[in-house]
Amino acid sequence: MAMRHSVMLDPKRCRGCTSCIKCCPTEAIRVRGRRATILPDRCIDCGNCIRVCPHKAIKSVGDSLDRLHGFEYCVALPEPALYGQFHNLDSVDVVLNALLKIGFHKVYEVARAAEILSDYERQSIRRGPPAVTPQLSSACPTVLRLIRMRFPKLMEHVTDTVLPMELAAILARREAEAETGLSPEKIGVFAIVPCSSKVTAARESEGLSRPVLDGAFAIRDIYLRLLGPMREVEDPAPLSSAGILGLGWAASGGECAARLGERCVAVDGIENVIRMLEEIEDGRLPEADFLELSACTQGCVGGCFNVENPYAAKLRIKGLMKGLPVSRNRFTLEGEGRALVRRDKPLQYLPTFVLDRDRQAAMDKQRRIQELEAHLPGLHCGSCGAPSCRAFAEDVVLGRASMDDCIFKVRERMRSMAGSKEEADDYLPPPFRRHQPEPTEK
Amino acid sequence: METIKLVYPVEGGDLIEAGEASSKMKLTLKKLGLPQDVIRRASICMYEGEINMVIHADGGQAEVEIDPGQIRICMTDTGPGIPDVQQAMQEGFSTAGQTARELGFGAGMGLPNIKRYSDEMHIDTQLGKGTTVTVLIKIPQ
């Protein structure tokens, strides 16, 4: 079943320029009929295409704020990255109080849930080494989907915890029920998130069989609404309940820091993540206990929903940590509650890249792909709409394209029909000509 | 007839790029849906062989043949050859130079690792002419 992605295309803006196809780490985009199309099974919601599109035609959409009207009582779960978006902010309380003025009745910081998860992890570490090392962070939904697609052997390395926003949702809903006496369906729980992948995760959880969130709003959609009310907050109620470690989760390295003293390393940027997963898959990183993996550069502050650039946001969050205790939350859940922090379904392999479920058929297809690729120009020009000649050959064999979609193959055929042997350089664009003088400066 | 052939040239003297061939091969093996364990073992053998060719032989070439029942990796270089194969197969024995050691290679685990992770391994070496390491990994049906 295809995922319900939040990354989508605006057909009116897309001009079919092919800028996006090469930046996609899972080769999930093809251009057809002057516009890009996303192969839903392959998209991991990393947001690379959104960042690179010159026409702003690929976007990710958070849930509509109208959803708040569907509930009697609404809880906001702000991700810590939100705090990094504002100039001259001296306390997280200002943001949290302002959230109560724009339609939410209660706030529960995701940073708080992050601290609980970190304490749970520290307690697990004290109990003894895990079955396999290194352990891999389960906090970035894009990385989880990447592992499920391309590194199934590493699924057992992923820590068994839910996303911080998911734990926040579970605990916030419990609190809200107890405080208001309302029945669960009257309470709406919404995360305020820095990236498309968390919007998708709110709809379809990687680790929970039932959704625990009623929606996820993009930071940039909340941002403008908050500015006015934030100015009006004069004497903010002390709502903030996370410490330095919880706020730290906003940026790459924060989750590592909260594990205290383990041999941890934080990896950010999807290409770097892929490189490290390759190393771990082959057992070449025996010295690591834990890897924090964020698809976005600099971690969640680098998500495509942020208003501020990741470095400025990181600096501001550091400023907000001043005077805060190290951590203000512990994992104290007892009995059945202990299971709340853990996934209730195992990660499942997504064999998206496998050419055919039947191995013999897959081998036949691979052989045909190689044969076709050998006859392609190897220019990766993108004119066929695929990111590379190899991807195009794969598309042809899998029935997604025809060999005539390659302009070079068509030219070849037309030449042979006309009976001419030599390829006339004049008719080719400069990058493809065999004899072309180098450009000179004026 | 049914064999899939992959050929990867390995650049000499470039320890930073070493590992690229094994990465590429791994992706192809995954597309075939081969067992994870087979993929991992083939990839480790290829990686170690690649490093050896870079450190000792100024590069070479890796040829992979995939059949329904096995993967055969043949790594050929025109380097100095191995004077004492038995010694070279011992864990911890290495003739790697200073540069390679500074980069964390040369632990003397290359050939022993290939041996450990392959089903069959064959070394054909001639002093002054070069070395060919052939590795077989069986694919359980």
pLDDT tens for residues A33-48? 999 999 999 999 999 9
Cβ–Cβ under 8 Å, residues B4 and B17: no
B39 Cα to chain A: minimum distance (Å): 9
Same structural domain, A81 and A168: yes
Tell me how far apart the alpha carbons of residues A202 and A239 are, in angstroms, rounded to a whole number: 25
State how beta strands A264-268 and A290-294 pair: parallel
Predicted confidence (pLDDT) per residue in A150-181, tens digit: 999 999 999 999 999 999 999 999 999 999 99
Collapsed DSSP state (helix, strand, coil) of residue B63 = strand
* Domain limit, last residue, from A45, A60, A75: A60
**Per the CB < 8 Å rule, is B26 touching A281?**
yes
Longest C-alpha distance within chain B, in Å? 45
Neighbours of B80 (CB within 10 A): 17
A282–B47 C-beta distance less than 8 A: yes
| Residue A178 and residue A151 in one domain | yes
Which of B15, B24, B31 to probe the A interface (max A CBs under 10 A)? B31
Nearest to residue A398, comparing CAs of A351, A375, A350, A364? A364
For residue A140, the distance in angstroms to the closest alpha carbon of chain B comes to 23
Q: Do A362 and B30 touch (CB under 8 A)?
A: no
Residue type, position A325, single letter: P
Assess whether A277 and A388 both reside in one domain: no
Give the rounded percent of residues in chain A with a pLDDT score beyond 90.
84
How much is the pLDDT for B2? 82
| CA gyration radius, chain A | 25
Cα–Cα distances (Å) from B85 to A394, B47, B51, B109, in that order, read 42, 19, 17, 14
Closest Cα partner for A319 from A384, A268, A372, A250?
A: A250
Could you tell me which of A219, A216, A157 has the C-alpha nearest to residue A190? Answer: A216
Q: Is A279 within a domain?
A: yes
A283–chain B Cβ distance below 8 A for any pair: yes
Q: What is the residue-wise DSSP string for A116-170?
A: HHHHHHHHHHHH---SSSSEE----HHHHHHHHHH-GGGGGGB-SBPPHHHHHHH
Please tell me whether residues A330 and A425 are part of one structural domain: no
Q: Print burial letters for A324-360: b (CB count within 10 Å at least 16), e (below 16).
A: beebbbebeeeeeeeebbebeeebeebbbbbbbeebe
For residue A95, give the nearest of A288, A278, A198, A238 by alpha carbon. Answer: A238
Specify burial of residue B60 (Cβ count, 10 A radius: 0-12, 13-18, 19+): buried
Interface test with A, best of B36, B70, B117, B141 (most A CBs within 10 A): B36
Give CA torsion, residues A409, A411, A415, A418, to 10 deg: 120
> Prior bond to A152 cis, omega within 30?
no
Closest CA of chain A from B61, distance in Å: 18
Does the structure show a pLDDT above 90 at A6?
no
Indicate whether A320 and A405 sit together in one domain.
no
Residues A276-294: tens digit of each pLDDT: 999 999 888 888 999 999 9
Euclidean distance between CA atoms B129 and A131, whole angstroms: 46
Question: pLDDT band at A25, cuts 50/70/90?
Answer: very high
Intervals of chain B under pLDDT 70: 1
Per-residue pLDDT at A425: 63
Q: Which residues contact A314 (CB under 8 A, 6 or more apart)?
A: A84, A250, A251, A298, A301
Give the SS3 label for residue A31.
Answer: strand
Q: Judging by beta carbons within 10 Å of its beta carbon (0-12, 13-18, 19+), is residue B96 exposed, middle or buried?
A: middle
Q: Is the model's pLDDT at A133 over the cut of 60?
A: yes
* Cα A77 to Cα A167, A193, A261, A263, B119, distances in angstroms: 10, 9, 29, 31, 53
User: Is residue A290 assigned to a domain?
Assistant: yes
Copy the structure tokens of residue A428: 């080719």
Point out the domain boundary residue: A306, A341, A376: A341
In B, residues 10-29, which contact A (CB 8 Å cutoff)? 19, 22-23, 26-28
Check residue A1 and give its pLDDT: 39
Residues A292 and A420 placed together within one structural domain of the fold: no
Chain A residues whose CB is inside 8 A of the B6 CB are 370
Q: Is residue A437 part of a domain?
A: no
Of the partner residues A153, A278, A366, the one whose CB lies closest to the CB of residue B28: A366
Please name the residue of chain B whose CA is at the shortest distance from the CA of residue A274: B23
The number of helix segments (H) and strand segments (E) in chain B equals 5, 5
Residue B31 and residue A354: Cβ atoms within 8 Å?
A: yes
Contact A359 B33 (CB under 8 A): yes
Of A315, A341, A367, the residue at which a domain comes to its end is A341
Q: What is the CATH number of the domain that holds A12?
A: 3.30.70.20
Helix (H) or strand (E) holding A75: strand A73-78
CB pair distance less than 8 Å for A353 and B30: yes
Q: Please check whether residue A210 lies inside any domain of the structure.
A: yes
Mean pLDDT of A336-340: 89
Q: Which CATH class is domain B4-138?
A: alpha beta
Overall average pLDDT of the A324-332 stretch: 95
Do residues A307 and A85 touch, judged by C-beta distance below 8 A? yes
The helix (run of H) or strand (run of E) holding residue A234 is none
Give me A71's structure tokens: 């509930």
Instruction: Check whether residue A196 and residue A80 sit in a common domain.
Output: yes
pLDDT, tens only, B45-59: 999 999 999 988 888
Q: Which domain holds residue A42?
A: 7-60
CB contact under 8 A, B4 and A363: yes
Q: Does A374 touch chain B (CB under 8 A)?
A: no
**What residues of chain B lie within 8 A of the CB of A351, using their CB?**
33
- Asked whether residue A440 is assigned to any structural domain, the reply reads no
pLDDT range class, residue A421, cuts 50, 70, 90: low
Q: Which residue of A has its CA nearest to B23?
A: A278
Q: Is A278 on the interface with B (CB under 8 A)?
A: yes
Please give the Cα distance from A140 to B54 (Å, whole number).
Answer: 36
Q: Within this chain, do residues A100 and A39 fall inside the same structural domain, yes or no? A: no
Residues A52 and A74 in one domain: no
pLDDT digits (tens, 9 = 90+) for A184-201: 999 999 999 999 999 999
Give the chain B residue whose CA is nearest to the CA of A154: B36
Q: Which residues of B touch A284 (CB under 8 A)?
A: 47
Which residues on adjacent β-strands are paired with residue B137? B71
**B43 in contact with chain A, both atoms CB, cutoff 8 A:** yes
Eight-class DSSP state of B5: E
Give yes or no for a contact between A317 and A251, defined as CB atoms under 8 angstroms apart.
Answer: yes
Q: Determine contact: A288 vs chain B, CB below 8 A.
A: no
Nearest chain A CA: its distance from B131 CA (Å)? 24
Q: Count the domains in chain A.
A: 3
Q: Does A355 contact B33 at a Cβ distance shorter than 8 Å?
A: yes
Spatial CB neighbours of A88, under 8 Å, sequence gap ≥ 6: none
Distance between terminal CA atoms of chain A? 56
Q: List B60's β-bridge partners, or say none.
A: B10
By C-alpha distance, which of A198, A186, A17, A165 is closest to A79?
Answer: A165
The two tokens of residue A341 are: 């922090």
From residue A313, alpha-carbon distances to A60, A83, A229, A299, A317 in Å are 20, 8, 20, 11, 6
CA-to-CA distance for A218 and A228, rounded, in angstroms? Answer: 18
Q: Are residues A136 and A239 in the same domain?
A: yes
- pTM attached to this predicted model: 0.93
Cβ–Cβ gap A284/B47 under 8 Å = yes
ipTM over 0.90: no
Structure confidence at residue A182 as a pLDDT band (50, 70, 90) = very high
